[in-house]
Structure 1
């Protein structure tokens, strides 16, 4: 008999149809106006051949041979032996090298559950065990997270509650200029879960209200067709130059908001000297910007006129800051909004990340929802998140970070849980070399993806369909039940159960579990949420919530700290949390750092790799490795929706029609994308929806090297991070610069190698190993 159970994911809420513990299908939840196609595709992956069914240990690690991670077979072992191996290795590394030698990776989205949150479980376990080296910031927004507290104050993510919401834009705004576009595909997701998708309809409401949109992006599809957006194709990585040219036009014509700049900002005079060329002899006018960006001078002048004569919003997307000097377009977008005259007006001003998640611009915040309790980490040291390969390759090296000097630790044990570094890190061949350095790599995984294949000890984990939990998304006003849909595959266990077993061996099980079972933890966290809201009648009791599947949270009361409206009305009474209490157009603090790649005000720096660089003679195409439409990062690349998007089993790459014709490439062909760092195969899509000189290959295809461990080896599957540079965007944030990369593309007319990304490595049973 079929049963219907709610399913909550980062890409929305669904209904699972189950028959005798077999997952039959996944349907959109009733009432979701724009359900994601990722959900139904989860069925394909639920029982595919890539599932990890038993604990496994790399054969060479068991035999004590030098590391050959990624190119070795595995031996399946019992859970008892696996727990012994991991606990003994943690003891050994801590006693010989100190707690800082343990790296608690777990960068990644994992599942949407509040209790079964992989990163929270791992960090709680490692902190109770003595501590670990942590990472700071995210691959998605590292530059933004570091620069914004200097410029507008507050927590790095506090801007989400301070920028105009879509409904306010519809009511009050006339013009939206979006640098990096507003790709609707990205709004499928929300970290932590999502009851229903709203961004599409909110955007549509803005257009119906008469709001005009301008999308400044190399890709036409970065704005939905119904927006009727004016498309301004821009040379990648030149958004800062475009904004400077617009700002110069505002300044010399006297169109800028002098009153707001004087009362609510600091340092505009010093920035204006740079803008006018008084510091370097180069006026940053529209003609100068046109020569860099490819956007015509008159177009930039007209944009300056419209921004200052209409109620406007300057938007900047996350993609533009994942590049060389990625702090600059974020900083400059705030300055441009401050100059425009709309900053701090209702529904107008500035914002970042719109349409990046179905949360940004939908609601300013969400009421408190409890999650697995944190434990203070006894180890104070950390690394910037994108510097993991640097730390492994160069322990002891000193690097800059946000005014600090950090010494990279000597990492001996890498413990990864809930993420996929062989998806999100740049220059995978360099990461492979770095990955051979630690003594041991422990990974929790549900599938034999690349990270699992590059581990020493692999512990199989239950998926979000195989455990009880509840979800609550970022700024989403709902709590959604996540009942177990099916039993865990094979011998897989939850992360919590694994860590509880390890904690028992290491002597702190009571502290880790607090004496609660997993079911008791889920119920406890829900009841903590009820109590924290102050009136338990706001939410029903747990049993009633579980029966309903979803309940709505009360809206947090505003206004929120750091309001630009309050700043505009009374800058003395409502200062920002910056040294001046105002928007820092010039930052004395950043200037004091003395960085040659991040001055005290927004500045144009030429990227290392871009279409005007000398390297473009050899590699004349700029690669955009944006987020995929068919999955979340690399999650469910083995799901039906992602598999259905492949061409000859490879990730699709989009190329402009003129560039394709010059290379004899047609849609449906397999092509080789390459540069000096690596190469990959992909399936070609020829299109006029991106500008000439640009190719687009989404992230997230599971890396599938022909010769694992061999530098430069061909990737059969289409992972763009074999091509990207592992280069920090600046000394300030040390963030990734994935979008600053040049490549070329050519037809692949030879035999096609089989895609083995979803094929498990060689596996042997314990008795097979013992007889050798």
Structure 2
């Protein structure tokens, strides 16, 4: 029997509202049920729509917290590198050792010799980039790498093509599309905003055709797509430019949109048709590079250009390569010459920063606005 309020509070279960820290584009709600200081289960958003519902990965955080493989204290290597031999040391010893090494490097070489290469897999306040950067700034600063392998190609391409990184549309707008192309994009695993897979599933149920272009038969291709087009890794740019060749030579481009909203089309056309370098970027030319058949490239180009509004969603993955920004630029330009930008059911591919759960509300509680104003 519980004899006092303190024991009652300790034994009762509390629900702690928190969020998932995975850097997947989602910002999902997690509700941790805690009893006696221990998480008993985790649930997600069950309030009114729109919901920020976590996937099974986020709802499995309890397993991560209590995993036997989780590091709970500092370990120091005692064997040769790669042997896997470590000894446990105190937090005080670990902190003093790391701090003395950092200060020693600063004294001998200066702050510029301290290279900070952060990862992006966790967006939590304790384990993210911010606390480490703030700490190093307290001792005079550090050197940080330019760009980031995760999204630099897509970011550069968005700024070069649109002049903004705020691209993309709300996921529910996909229900207004006549065609959706998932290019190097696997939201069934990578999420890309809460509810993305749900809206894609609703689109398919509505009869909207979904095509996946990817070297791998991904979960998204298996579950969401009507068609899968395998492509040789790293050759996406060639296929996108060959699609532009079909669209331009068959006069399927949106000339009115091009003349009103774009610059540089004539120079781009000269490159695609081969006037610049003597090599027309035909589907047959692309077939030898990509292993995607000439006819498949022609069919996809025609379908994308004539199914307006159509959403070409080019993922970041193919841009994580040498000259990967050219893939992102090629996809962005294809969206532009077909006039699939700024319309319901279309999609301005690119950096895709406009996640509805991430960018719509700022710290002040007011809705954020990009440089492109709605007319």
Task: Tell me which interval the TM-score lies in, with the shorter structure as reference length.
Answer: 0.7 to 0.9
Stretches of structure 2 that go unaligned for 5 or more consecutive residues are 1-10, 23-27
- After TM superposition, give the deviation of residue 185 of structure 1 in Å: 1.8
> Residues 185, 75 of structure 1: CA spacing in aligned structure 2 closer, same or farther, 3 A cutoff?
closer
CA distance in 2, matches of 1:212, 1:360: 24
Whether the aligned pair in 1 keeps the contact of 2:45 and 2:52 (CA below 8 Å) is no
List per-residue Cα deviations over 1:587-612 (Å, max 9, x = no partner).
xxxxxxxxxxxxxxxxxxxxxxxxxx
CA distance in 2, matches of 1:80, 1:219: 47
- Residue 368 (1) aligns with residue 362 (2): yes
Residue number among 183, 187, 200 corresponding to 1:183 in the alignment: 187
- Residue 43 (1) aligns with residue 43 (2): no
Match of 1:505 in 2: none
Residue number among 246, 251, 255 corresponding to 2:248 in the alignment: 251
CA distance in 2, matches of 1:35, 1:131: 37
> Residues 212, 47 of structure 1: CA spacing in aligned structure 2 closer, same or farther, 3 A cutoff?
closer
- Residue 167 (1) aligns with residue 172 (2): yes
- Secondary structure class of the residue paired with 1:87: helix
Match of 2:335 in 1: 337
- Secondary structure class of the residue paired with 1:290: helix
Match of 1:86 in 2: 98
Match of 1:121 in 2: 131
> Residues 324, 79 of structure 1: CA spacing in aligned structure 2 closer, same or farther, 3 A cutoff?
closer
- Residue 198 (1) aligns with residue 210 (2): no
Whether the aligned pair in 2 keeps the contact of 1:315 and 1:353 (CA below 8 Å) is no
- Secondary structure class of the residue paired with 2:348: strand
5 Å matches for 1:674-753? none
CA distance in 2, matches of 1:101, 1:26: 43
Match of 2:371 in 1: 561
> Residues 17, 36 of structure 1: CA spacing in aligned structure 2 closer, same or farther, 3 A cutoff?
same
Residue number among 307, 310, 315 corresponding to 1:310 in the alignment: 307
- Residue 153 (1) aligns with residue 138 (2): no
CA distance in 2, matches of 1:259, 1:39: 46
Instruction: Count how many residue pairs are aligned between Structure 1 and Structure 2.
Output: 355
CA distance in 2, matches of 1:353, 1:145: 5
> Residues 74, 291 of structure 1: CA spacing in aligned structure 2 closer, same or farther, 3 A cutoff?
closer
Match of 1:30 in 2: 46
5 Å matches for 1:380-399? none
5 Å matches for 1:324-473? 324-352=322-350, 362=356, 365-369=359-363
> Residues 254, 126 of structure 1: CA spacing in aligned structure 2 closer, same or farther, 3 A cutoff?
same
Residue number among 100, 104, 124 corresponding to 2:112 in the alignment: 100
Match of 2:29 in 1: 13
- After TM superposition, give the deviation of residue 145 of structure 1 in Å: 2.2
Whether the aligned pair in 2 keeps the contact of 1:275 and 1:284 (CA below 8 Å) is yes
Whether the aligned pair in 1 keeps the contact of 2:273 and 2:280 (CA below 8 Å) is yes
Match of 2:140 in 1: 130
> Residues 361, 75 of structure 1: CA spacing in aligned structure 2 closer, same or farther, 3 A cutoff?
closer
TM-score with structure 1 setting the length = 0.42
> Residues 222, 265 of structure 1: CA spacing in aligned structure 2 closer, same or farther, 3 A cutoff?
farther
CA distance in 2, matches of 1:249, 1:230: 20
- After TM superposition, give the deviation of residue 261 of structure 1 in Å: 2.4
Match of 2:227 in 1: 230
Structure with a larger share of its residues in helix = 2
CA distance in 2, matches of 1:132, 1:168: 43
List per-residue Cα deviations over 1:245-294 (Å, max 9, x = no partner).
11111111222222332332222222222211223332111222233323
TM-score with structure 2 setting the length = 0.82
Whether the aligned pair in 1 keeps the contact of 2:76 and 2:88 (CA below 8 Å) is yes
Structure with a larger share of its residues in strand = 1
> Residues 2, 182 of structure 1: CA spacing in aligned structure 2 closer, same or farther, 3 A cutoff?
same
- After TM superposition, give the deviation of residue 25 of structure 1 in Å: 3.5
Residue number among 294, 302, 307 corresponding to 2:291 in the alignment: 294
Residue number among 149, 152, 157 corresponding to 1:139 in the alignment: 149
CA distance in 1, matches of 2:52, 2:119: 31
